[in-house]
Amino acid sequence: GENVEQHPSTLSVQEGDSAVIKCTYSDSASNYFPWYKQELGKRPQLIIDIRSNVGEKKDQRIAVTLNKTAKHFSLHITETQPEDSAVYFCAATLNSGYSTLTFGKGTMLLVSP
């Protein structure tokens, strides 16, 4: 089955800095890679996703890059703000309604004012 590794487990940055979280996956058949933000005690919220037919996607301060050959993808947050503090999870799966997501272990991002 799929295995997703995520690094780092914790990341502390100053407000305004950039933050980068990296994930690798094992199953070359995976073709859908979402990123979730989870605040304490709440459900994960999709913040951005990328499919294997593109290499990069950007949405305001958030961007995701995908390298299919190396089987890794990364989340980039620019101009971080304190409200970006949360746990971020990457995931990999087949782009199908019947396929579960395999999550990375999560990255706790702390943005200090």
d(CA 86, CA 83): 8
- Asked if 43 is part of the footprint of other proteins (rule: CB under 8 A), the reply reads yes
- Asked if 97 is part of the footprint of other proteins (rule: CB under 8 A), the reply reads yes
- In the bound state with other proteins, the residue whose beta carbon lies nearer, of 18 and 51, is 51
- Asked if 53 is part of the footprint of other proteins (rule: CB under 8 A), the reply reads no
Contacts with other proteins, residue ranges (CB under 8 A): 34, 41-44, 46, 49, 89, 91, 93, 96-106, 108
